[in-house]
Amino acid sequence: MQFPDTEYFSLELASPQGDGAIEPKHQACLIPQAANATPFALDAPQSIVGRGHDVDYCINDVRASRRHAKVLALHNRYYVQDLGSTNGTYLNGDRIENERLAHGDLITFGRTQFRFEIGTDLDANYLKKLTLDTVTSLAEAVDKKDPYTGSHSQSVAKISERLALALGLDQAAAERVRIAARLHDIGKIGVPDAVLRKPGPLTAAEFALIRKHPVDGASILAPLGFLADLLPAIRHHHERFDGGGYPDGLVGAAIPLASRIIQVADTYHAMASNRPYRRAQPPEFIRTELTRHAGTQFDPEVIAALLDMLSSLHAPD
């Protein structure tokens, strides 16, 4: 495996020729900083590191937990997720829970330190290893970045599927809406925890980071052919019915129906959930607010479908 000598090596999804093709998947590994230790190739979509016997890479370190951390690989994007270890996972000296990795980063599990490196050799078999379960692991990592949202994406997915069926979609189409909703916030995987968890108003720069997540989410999933039909739903779930949304300012029926469904389910769950700065809103407040914004922010037909089922929706997880 060959690695560049530069301190930082950035691999974007776009082809360097700018022709719309996807940058091929490159091999990557964790290189132990201890002498004579064996590098660990990150050639699976997800890998568990720890000192137990049921892990993908076992480290002989009493300060490491048995299942210490998970490394997620989605094309040329890699993330490390602490699994509730006793002594923590550290990235370049800072304790982290979920963070994206960059070439040259130093990761510490217990007392054992690794250098993360992305090589120039291609991983030709990578796409064959990806499954929906693997991608969903990334969505779960996003939910875990904010303890107040918990299983937000899972709840939005359930509500979105019910809305799709209520609007006349068949079971197969409703299932695709559910999957899109499950993955709708996957672009937030790259947003710093401090921004996602901030209890007060966001700065303009912080809000700009948040606004990127629909495009980033579609970009993350773009290499996966089995999700190609879901990319528009994910990219456009923050459009507004009146054209005032983002990223493309689409209006009305030009917004994919799945996006319009996800937006309503997402907004409902946000209002019905506890937040750091407020308690969950009561049903009548939610009904009033959704009705008030039907036709401007939201598709009126989707709002009508949600209001019809409002009394039957379970309390958010």
Which residues are identified as catalytic?
Answer: 188
Q: Note whether 71 and 50 are within 8 A (CB).
A: no
Q: Note whether 276 and 199 are within 8 A (CB).
A: yes
**Total residue length of the chain:** 317
Q: Which residues contact 124 (CB under 8 A, 6 or more apart)?
A: none
Query: What is the gyration radius of the CA atoms in the chain, in angstroms?
Result: 21
Q: Is the peptide bond before 39 cis (omega within 30 degrees of 0)?
A: no
Q: Note whether 217 and 234 are within 8 A (CB).
A: yes
Q: Note whether 28 and 120 are within 8 A (CB).
A: no
Rounded CA separation 278/275 (Å):
5
Q: Given the structure tokens 């407040």, which residue do they identify?
A: 285
For residue 88, give both structure tokens. Answer: 């923590």
Which of these, 149, 148, 170, lies nearest to 161 by C-alpha position?
170
Q: Note whether 259 and 237 are within 8 A (CB).
A: yes
Residue 220 is which amino acid?
I
Q: Following DSSP, what letter does each residue of 77-109 receive, concatenated?
A: EEEEEE-S-SS-EEETTEEESEEE--TT-EEEE
